[in-house]
Amino acid sequence: MKEKEPLIRLTRRQNMAKSKIWLIRLGALVFAIILGGLVFIIAGANPLTAYGTILSGSLGKVTGVRQVVKTAVPLLGTALALAPCFAMKFWNIGAEGQITMGALAATFFALNMANSMPSPILLIVMGIASIIFGAMWAAIPAIFKANWGTNETLFTLMMNYIAIGIVGWLQGGPWEGKPGSQIIPMFEKTAVLPKVLGVHIGWIIVLLITIFMYIYMSKTKHGYEIKVLGESENTARYAGMNVRKVTIRTACLSGGIAGLVGFMVASGANQTLYSDVAGGVGFTAITVTWLAQLNPFAMVAISLMLAVLSKGASSIQTTLGVPASISDIITGIILLCMLGCEFFINYKMIFRGKEHHEEALPLVTKPEIKGEEAAK
């Protein structure tokens, strides 16, 4: 009979040791790097040299490190902004627009109030304005969802285009610097974030947000409400939580942080505003949040890693003549492997005739895999 059993069976694993789980994840990362090496070979470069160039190009010099940190700041900040939304299963993919609106609000004060107040106060006003605008941009879809059950995924996505469109209009219209330039003038010195260790102070702000987000999600009533609501709306109502309020409040928090990121990018990195201020960070941050499995500290490491890859990519382009976009391919491979390895953490595959000592499920579609209690 055994030779007729299914070729591959899946068994669910239970209680795998923490160390083994991390070993599997590390293995997936190594596997992804090897796969990435194949991509380099196809592109005509020696993988070892290529990876070496990525590392030396990004972390080899102080300026490189500064560049990496500068790239990682908005990525980390936005990933942190998305964390509470994702924990609540509110699929906010509108960070792009929230960043843009935050940057817009900050720019308004930078352009109009630069000479009427001292720099620290101006910067604080810009920060607060960016938080309010980012929060507002996230609140609109949240209010619609909470009251009329609209789909937040589409809604937040559409809000991105509106935000980008508004900035595009300002750029060529009311806020245009030299007529016909389509460019908003550079900020005055008073409206630019100061530098600490060669990088704008935003990196300290996002590290503070990291700690805040960790405490907020794991120790506060708000964090508890978010987690319960994410598991089941019915349970949240049963526990007496105000689902509408929690939804809107959490979206505001998320949008507010994204807005602050917009302020940091505009005032710290770019020192001006243009419609591509978010530059895809709002989407890449989704990857960071997922890879970190909503853990704020893991987000720090992952956003740094992605920053290294993207900075290193420009050096391989100049030194090896390999297109920089290859780093996007490698990022994609890493993401795929990291998410894919979760399957091996949850399940074990048994090949025909190998082992018969654990739960086996034939590969037929079964809606839910529970124990024998499933009948209840």
Partner 1 sequence: MSETTHAVEFKGITKRFGSNVANDSVDLYLDRGVIMSLLGENGSGKTTLMNMLAGIYFPDEGEILIDGKPVTIKSPKDAFDNKIGMIHQHFKLVDVFTAAENIVLGLKEEGKLDRKAISAKVHEIGERYGFEIDPDKKIYEMSVSEKQTVEIIKVLYRGADILILDEPTAVLTPQETSKLFKILRAMRDDGKSIILITHKLNEVMEISDVVAVLRKGKYIGAVKTAETSEKELTEMMVGHKVSLNIERPDPVDPKPRLTVAGLTVKDTEGMTKLDDVGFIAYGGEILGIAGIAGSGQKELLESIAGLRHISKGSIIYTPEGKNPAELVGKTPMEIKDAGVALAFVPEDRLGMGLVGGMGMTGNMMLRSWNKGKGIFVDTKGPEKLAEQVLVNLDVKTPGIDYPVRKLSGGNVQKVLVGREIAQSPSVLMSAYAVRGLDIHTSFTIYNMMTEEKMKGVAVIFVGEDLDVLLELCDKILVLCGGKVSGLVDARKSTKEEIGLLMTKLGGKEAN
Q: Give yes or no for residue 371 binding partner 1 (CB under 8 A).
A: yes
Cβ proximity to partner 1, 208 vs 239, nearer residue: 239
Q: Which is nearer to partner 1, 179 or 240 (CB)?
A: 240
At closest approach, how far in Å is the CB of 258 from partner 1?
22
Phi and psi torsions of 16, nearest 5°: -75, 140
Under rule CB under 8 A, residue 346 binds partner 1:
no
Please state, in angstroms and rounded to a whole number, the distance separating the CA atoms of residues 67 and 61: 10
Which has the closest alpha carbon to 133: 165, 109, 99? 99
Closer to partner 1 by CB, 26 or 239: give it: 239
**Binding flag, residue 221, partner 1 (CB under 8 A):** yes
Closest distance between partner 1 and the C-beta of residue 367, in Å? 10
362 near partner 1, judged by CB under 8 A = yes
Beta bridge mates, 181: none
Q: Least distance (Å) from partner 1 to the CB of residue 349?
A: 14
Of residues 17 and 373, the one with the C-beta less far from partner 1? 373
Q: Residues 4-42, buried b or exposed e (16+ Cβ, 10 A)? A: eeeeebbbeeeeeeeeeeeeebeebeebbeeebbebbee
Residue ranges of alpha helices (H) inside 92-201 are 95-112, 119-148, 152-172
The correct pick among 169, 238, 297, 343 for binding partner 1 (CB under 8 A) is 238
Select from 114, 153, 227, 329 the one that contacts partner 1 (CB under 8 A): 227
The residue among 254, 252, 272 whose CA lies nearest residue 263 is 272
Q: What span, in angstroms and rounded, lies between the C-alpha atoms of 226 and 330?
A: 34
> Shortest distance, CB of residue 4 to partner 1, whole angstroms?
4
């807005």: which residue's tokens?
259
Residue 218 Cα distances to 17, 150, 226, 295, angstroms: 23, 29, 10, 10
By CB under 8 A, tell whether 96 contacts partner 1: no
What track of x and - describes contact with partner 1 for positions 49 through 68 (by CB under 8 A)? --------------------
Among 44, 115, 180, 357, binds partner 1 (CB under 8 A): 357
Residues engaged in binding partner 1 (CB under 8 A) = 1, 4-6, 9, 11-15, 219-225, 227-228, 231-232, 234-235, 237-242, 356-362, 364, 366, 371-376
